[in-house]
A = this chain, B = another copy of it.
Amino acid sequence: MRVSRLMLVTLRDDPAEAEITSHKLLLRAGYMRRLAPGIFAYLPLLWRVLQKVSAIVREEMAAVDALETLLPQLQPADLWRRSGRWDGYTAGEGIMFHLVDRQERSLGLGPTHEEVVTELAADLLRSYRQLPVCLYQIQTKFRDEIRPRFGLMRGREFIMKDAYSFHADEACLRRTYAAMDGAYRRIFERCGLRAVAVEADSGAIGGSASQEFMVTAEAGEDLILASPDGRYAANQERAVSLPAAAVPLEVSTCQPLATPAQTSIDELCTAHGFDPTQTLKVLLLLARFAAAPPRGVLVCLRGDQQLNDVKLANAVTARCADAGALLEIVPLLADHLWDAVPFGFLGPHLEDPALRQGEARVAAAPLLRLADPSAADLEAFVCGANRSDEHLVGARWGELCPVPEVVDLRAAQPGDRCLHDPSQRLEAARGIEVGHIFQLGRKYSEALEARFTNEAGSEEPLWMGCYGIGVSRLAQAAVEQHHDADGIRWPVAIAPYTVIIVIASSQDPVQVALAEELYERLRLGGCDVLLDDRPERAGVKFKDADLIGIPWRLVVGRGAGERKVELVDRSGDTGKRELSADAALEHLRGLPGASP
């Protein structure tokens, strides 16, 4: 392709709309343009990158026997109501765009396809003889993000590869899950990305186990916690660890303590010399649901610990299965309550408070009471007295009140000791999630009645897995991981073109003739080659070549008369060298991705 015909417009300055480097570079180098917040036109250069990524994905999906398909983007609301996700995806987080058609039927714009593919499986898969089977698609997906940003990282319209597997038993699901894990590692490696697999929260998708693949990069939105020995890595949303040992509270009886205006753990400890590990943190929250009235939640943590919102949402969802989708959990405020509650001085023995709905008192539903092990394991502790300006010192579970239900709710932190080996301490890194694989189990097949006849002749729900890769996000993650001050440095396998031939002086017929000859020979040899034939100064063309990040630059300049050219390696590994045109061709032919 000739650069003059490429509709290429590069920008000298960083666009105001871009915050992170990869976003800036993709805009500056003419890979994309924004049409609306989180909505981008993918220009020809970016499209080539996406096609190369997709080709690698397709090869690796074929290698694990996945069949390519294409499922609808418009999805009937009824289907999502049957799986119980319509409310959560529209009214709750509300990330699903939705509309009403001319027949007044509600449709959602697919952010994911569990419902659709399970409905299809219910129709097509009847016998264990047809199993296992795995379908995948590469498709534009939609999310009405609260805050679209970072270009393709958190867009409202983006390209995903999503795969769904169906099995006769859990062991088979686990085998395919393991095969997908391998396929994903190969895909990221072949794309030239440094990616790590981490334990992950399954979120709104659900299921029993899931693993994310993170491209490590400073600009990543996710925090990864990992042990230095490489045996444990998890998204902070999911990570577990051992908290620091608590300082025992050497008090034999429970006594009240006047604590005027000491409403925070910090103030309390400073005033009375307690260690935060000796205190109990009591949080009062309100969970809202799609199909039930709101419910109060009381959470106990050890005073030095932080609440992990994701773990709490999972715990609440699991315990309120009949309430419909969990829409949100917010701090419970005085406004929500009928009676006054002494915030800042709460103890775990708080009586169930009555809620308020406008001017009405709502019959008191009992608080959902949960305690993190860090709190439940305390023998004696300092906690609020449920009276203003007063705490209790030396309170004990059983005496004060029963231990609430124990569930892991604390946020693991860098520096925490690891469960698998307490001598290892968690280290933090930032990552960009580019893949996520799930063992769904029977969540969707049970809800949508996707059943098959097993070898024994009886019917049971299908076992399912699902496996996603953010194709457009991956492309940008590659830029975030591979760039320098001058621009992008694409890994060869996903570069839009492998070689760019730059004519130093377009006025010089000798240079032009040699460049055209090399262009033609590379093209016929199957190389993805660009010819910068624009009547610009050499410096402008060199700058553009660096910015758009083509792995190899072949400069035809003053040496053209002697058939000498300059070969520049954009990765910087082998630098710049002068050689004969034929030697350059020979070199480029030997490269991966350079010839078919």
* B contact residues around A41 at 8 Å (CB): 69-72, 116, 120
What is the count of identical protomers in the complex?
A: 2
Given the known interface contacts A107-B36, A119-B35, A125-B7, the answer about A70 and B50 at a Cβ–Cβ threshold of 8 Å is: yes
Interface assignment of A129: CB less than 8 Å from any CB of chain B: yes
Interface assignment of A20: CB less than 8 Å from any CB of chain B: no
Given the known interface contacts A33-B123, A120-B33, the answer about A47 and B69 at a Cβ–Cβ threshold of 8 Å is: yes
Given the known interface contacts A7-B67, A36-B107, the answer about A74 and B120 at a Cβ–Cβ threshold of 8 Å is: no
CA distance A177 to B133 in the complex (A): 46
**How many of chain A's residues have a CB under 8 angstroms from any CB in B?**
61
* B contact residues around A51 at 8 Å (CB): 68
Contact indicator per residue, chain A 421-464, by CB within 8 Å of chain B (1) or not (0): 00000000000000000000000000000000000000000000
Query: Is A70 touching B99 in the complex (CB atoms < 8 A)?
Result: no
Query: Is B74 touching A36 in the complex (CB atoms < 8 A)?
Result: yes
CA distance A392 to B69 in the complex (A): 67
CA distance A7 to B39 in the complex (A): 35
Residue from B5, B97, B123 in contact with A65 in the complex, judged by beta carbons closer than 8 Å: B5
* B contact residues around A102 at 8 Å (CB): 94, 144, 146
* B contact residues around A98 at 8 Å (CB): 99
Given the known interface contacts A7-B125, A123-B33, the answer about A72 and B142 at a Cβ–Cβ threshold of 8 Å is: no
CA distance A47 to B69 in the complex (A): 6
Interface assignment of A76: CB less than 8 Å from any CB of chain B: yes
CA distance A33 to B70 in the complex (A): 11
Given the known interface contacts A41-B116, A140-B140, A144-B101, the answer about A133 and B72 at a Cβ–Cβ threshold of 8 Å is: no
Most buried by B among A39, A74, A119: A74
Given the known interface contacts A44-B67, A99-B97, A116-B41, the answer about A157 and B72 at a Cβ–Cβ threshold of 8 Å is: yes
Contact indicator per residue, chain A 110-129, by CB within 8 Å of chain B (1) or not (0): 00000010011001111001
Interface assignment of A6: CB less than 8 Å from any CB of chain B: yes
* B contact residues around A133 at 8 Å (CB): 5, 7
Interface assignment of A9: CB less than 8 Å from any CB of chain B: yes
Q: Smallest CB–CB gap between A345 and chain B, Å?
A: 38
Q: Smallest CB–CB gap between A61 and chain B, Å?
A: 12
Q: Smallest CB–CB gap between A596 and chain B, Å?
A: 11
Q: Smallest CB–CB gap between A166 and chain B, Å?
A: 9
CA distance A125 to B9 in the complex (A): 8
Query: Is A44 touching B69 in the complex (CB atoms < 8 A)?
Result: yes
Contact indicator per residue, chain A 259-302, by CB within 8 Å of chain B (1) or not (0): 00000000000000000000000000000000000000000000
Query: Is A72 touching B135 in the complex (CB atoms < 8 A)?
Result: no
Instruction: Give A61-81 interface residues, CB cut-off 8 Å to B.
Output: 65, 67-76, 79
* B contact residues around A343 at 8 Å (CB): none
* B contact residues around A70 at 8 Å (CB): 41-42, 47, 50
Top 5 closest A-B pairs, CB basis?
A: A99-B99, A44-B67, A42-B70, A39-B72, A36-B76
5 extra A-B contacts, CB within 8 A, seeds A48-B68, A97-B107: A36-B75, A43-B69, A44-B67, A47-B68, A140-B140
